[in-house]
Structure 1
Amino acid sequence: MSKFVYIIGTADTKLEELLWLKSCLCSASVDSHIIDVSTGSSNAFHVNNQVDISSAQIAAYHPDGKDAVFCGERGKAVTAMATALARFLQSTVEDISGLIGIGGSGGTALIASAMQTMPIGMPKLMVSTMASGNVEGYVAGMDIAMLYTVTDLNGLNYLSRTILANAANMIAGAVNLAIDHDHIQQPVLGLTMFGVTTPCINQLVALLGEEYESLVFHATGNGGTSMERLIEGRGIVGVLDITLTEVADLLFGGVLACNETRLDCIAQTQTPWIGSAGALDMVNFSERSSIPERYAHRQFVEHNAQVTLMRTTPEENYQLGVWIGNKLNLCNGPVRFIIPEGGFSALDAPGQPFFDPQARQAFKEGLESTVIQTAQRQIIKTPHHINAPEFCSLVIEQFQNVMQHQGTAYDSTPGKSL
């Protein structure tokens, strides 16, 4: 069965652009279908064979029917059409080779939210007037590429033709030159890393050898979100969540915050999980001038011109322990939290600016006073630093024990399995 690139946009305002994209994809030998997501009730573009899938056909996928989409209120209609489009794409996912959307503010919100429900690895490109600013809400930890239109999407001109042709060729390249991953047989693990925990993660990946496919996620807020999307899709069999710094940013106003739902998917999926306190000694801000006034008296390290790190206090570390502990109490699958009493990051070590045994002790007290320990849910303490070989060996030992109980055996000797 042939697969198609779906070209998605509002035909009532952007028909010329949609047709131009289809002609460019045709020139690149890529089959495509135009999907109209206009929130007016007209079906004329489909009747006139200008689009392949009408807005009425998409709207019918809304759980409350197409009347929920064609309600006459733009804001509600756009939200409802986004729901309908997501359900349509999910129902036809096996037929899709790639997605390309075009839109202004409303169209981008509509199409991008539906793209977020598609599998990671499927080519997704959003051509948008909104792509020059903060795109976090549109990307949401997914592999959605965004291309700025430069001019508004208001009919074709020499510049819009060029940019849209570039977009079509980007998708065509992704589709025509797709890599076959069917040969990958290793189970997949998720690991979280920050610059100050890189030595630890590098050691763990080396110890895991070739028996596992190690996916390392940068703990920047979106990194944790991306990892958990894969966990929800059962694409990851185990997690070494060593670096939870995103939680510190969430609780104390940093710029690399995770969502409040962080760790919920571990409880929901019961995925084997080993966590630690990586980089909980810091909250991340942008340039020094961006730091809130309430933190003016605090201890800082300027990582670079755009990144300033603030040391967390003992009181904040206690709160972190309680927050994480409450999340772990929801987990009935195998979870192990390993506290590296020798230091939480490269900056939290003897002679380094964030070295603070009292803060680490406060975290331990917050966590231990909150977690209800069971055979499945355990706190483990080690005197070693998070980047020490001894800590990494302990992580692998616990990983081995957990996976054995899951029916998956692993030998910490590189390249060997039990």
Structure 2
Amino acid sequence: MTKTVAVMATLDTKGEEVKYVKKQFGKRGVKTLVMDTGLRGTPQGVKADVTREQLAAASGSTVEKLAAMGRGEAIEVMVKGIAKIVKELYGQGRFQGIMAIGGLDGALLTTGAMRTLPLGVPKLLLTPVAQGKQQFGPFVGTTDMVVMHSVIDILGVNEISRKIFDNAVGAMAGMLRMDVSTKIEGRNVIAMTMYGNTTPTAMLAKKLFEERGYEVVVFHPNGTGGMSMEEMIDQGLFNGVFDLTTHEITDWLYNGVHAGGPTRLDAGVRSGVPQVVVPGCVDFILMGPIEKLEPEFRKRKTYKFNPAVSLVSATREEMEHIASVMAEKLNRAKGPVLVLIPLRGFSMYCHPGEPLYDPERDAAFIKALKGKLSPRIRVKEVDAHINDPLFAETSVAELAKLMGN
């Protein structure tokens, strides 16, 4: 079967480039479905299969009305129509992969639609925005989108840009040839969160779960990872959740690097999926380079994790607040939940001799958490550090019980 890739761009400024890309796909036996996401100017270079007029209409507007709006407002309106049309066309089988070419505005216009497509559908954004100082969250979200740096700005086909376009076409053509299924069964699958700080327990737990016949999907709780897990929990893809590393709550509350947002823990709570929840790494805030910390944080216990980030110990008062937030969320749980507490430390650098060790702070957290949790939420304390084998073994056994095994 001949594959088709949807190519999205503002044809008033990127028509020549799309024409070249279309030709290169054709040489590789891949058809194209060109979508003009432009808001202003006149399309040029190549004919659109889906016009800007069609996309504007799907947005509940017209090209003329959009042109009269402010730039930001017009983008917000047009994004809705692009997402609607992309979902419809994919549902009709009109394309099997999708590619967007553009600068900041072009990326914002197109990636919202790309994020609506299932995991496994090839998605590629080619943009000069993809460089080390730009946050990718507004474009990628929680999806499996590939972001490729165009190195130079996208204006014209030349000695440099041809190489970039050719590689982008090759990457997309290769992904299409893989023919990855988007179907996810969700049978005997456990979600687990893991930091470098909790890797020893995560690795052992994974091994023990697999010995019981489960597949383990591991999420890195870096803000996006937790959100991805929550989305998949809502989709019913997991039989159980081992939320070993709930650090994203701390960073959300105290402006850390890996903030998971206000909905962290909510999917497991509302879905009723069996879950074991651990206060893993809630005892520190992840911040930038240690040399650039504000004076108020330099006074605390800290650990230089690497040149880019540092671990800043949470205070007793912050830990009590974190406990209160976690309890408030877990008290709404519709399914079986166990809160498992490692009494000898919540993270790798929190035990005797390590820089973040503070047993009084941890005791205050435990007291606050137990005091706020509903009597129907079971709590179990384990006389072990979070990375001790005993804690991993206990976690696996307890979650297996909750799942009826």
Alignment-derived partner of residue 117 in structure 1: 116
User: 1:52 offset after TM fit, Å?
Assistant: 1.1
Aligned: 1:93 with 2:93: no
User: In the alignment, what sits opposite 2:148?
Assistant: 147
Shift of 1:171: 0.7
Q: Using a 3 Å threshold, how does the CA distance of structure 1 residues 93 and 327 change in structure 2: closer, same or farther?
A: farther
Could you tell me which runs of 5 or more consecutive residues in structure 1 were left unpaired when the two chains were aligned.
Answer: 405-409, 411-418
Secondary structure class of the residue paired with 2:279? strand
- Map of 1:126 onto structure 2: 125
Paired position in structure 1 for 2:354: 352
Deviations 1:62-90 (A, max 9, x none): 3x455797362121221111122222222
Q: Which runs of 5+ in 2 are unaligned?
A: none
Residue equivalent to 1:414: none
Confirm whether residue 240 of structure 1 aligns to residue 239 of structure 2. Answer: no
Distance 2:41 2:275 in 1: 48
Name the SS for the 1:332 alignment partner.
Answer: coil
- Alpha-carbon contact 2:121-2:182 (below 8 Å) kept: no
Equivalents in 1 of 2:137, 2:403: separation in Å?
Answer: 35
- Name the SS for the 1:56 alignment partner: helix
Alignment-derived partner of residue 5 in structure 1:
5
Distance 1:61 1:181 in 2: 26
Using the TM superposition, name which of 228-237 and 181-190 deviates more.
181-190
Task: State the secondary structure of the residue aligned to 2:403.
Answer: helix
Query: Quick one: which amino acid aligns to residue 163 of structure 2?
Result: T
1:138 paired to 2:139: yes
The 5 A counterparts of 1:14-93 are 14-40=14-40, 50-62=47-59, 64=60, 66=62, 70=66, 72-73=68-69, 74-93=71-90
SS in 2 for 1:262: coil
User: What are the equivalent positions in structure 2 for 1:158-237 lying under 5 Å apart?
Assistant: 158-179=159-180, 186-209=187-210, 211-237=213-239
Aligned mates of 2:234, 2:90 — CA distance in 1:
17
Which residue number in structure 2 is paired with residue 295 of structure 1? 297
Counterpart amino acid of residue 13 in structure 1: T
Contact map agreement 2:120 2:182 (CA 8 A) in 1: no
Q: Alignment partner of 2:17: what SS?
A: helix
Which amino acid in the other structure matches residue 193 of structure 1?
Answer: M
> Alpha-carbon deviations, 1:209-249, whole Å to 9, x = none?
16222111112222212222322333333211100112222
**Structure 1 residue matching 2:392: 3-state secondary structure:** helix
* Distance in 1 of aligned mates of 2:57 and 2:338: 46
CA distance in 1, matches of 2:264, 2:348: 24
Partners in 2 of 1:30 and 1:85 — Cα distance?
Answer: 22
Cα distance, 1:154 vs structure 2: 1.9
- The count of corresponding residues between Structure 1 and Structure 2 is 399
Contact 2:187 2:237 (8 Å CA) reproduced: no
TM-score by length of structure 2 reads 0.90
User: Within the alignment, does 1:342 sit opposite 2:341 as a pair?
Assistant: no
Q: What CA distance in whole angstroms lies between the structure 1 residues aligned with 2:359 and 2:159?
A: 63
Equivalent-residue separation in structure 2 for 1:202 and 1:115 (angstroms)? 33
Structure 1 runs (4+) greater than 6 angstroms displaced? 181-185
- Assess, with a 3 A threshold, how the Cα gap between structure 1 residues 269 and 59 changes in structure 2: closer, same or farther: farther
> Cα deviation per residue 1:333-380 (whole Å; 9 max; x = unaligned)?
332221111211121123322222212111112222322232xx3332
Cα distance in 2 for partners of 1:215, 1:50 equals: 43
For 1:272 and 1:90, locate their aligned partners in 2 and report how far apart those are by CA, in whole Å: 32
The letter of the residue matching 1:199 is P
**TM-score (structure 1 length as normaliser):** 0.88
- 1:111 partner letter: T
Shift of 1:121: 2.2
Root mean square deviation of aligned Cα: 2.5
The CA distance in 1 between the partners of 2:3 and 2:216, in whole Å, is 30
Deviations 1:293-350 (A, max 9, x none): 3212111111222221112222211111011112223332332221111211121123
Between the aligned residues of both structures, percent identity stands at: 30
Contact 1:41/1:55 (<8 A) preserved: no
Question: What is the aligned counterpart of 2:367 among 323, 340, 365?
Answer: 365
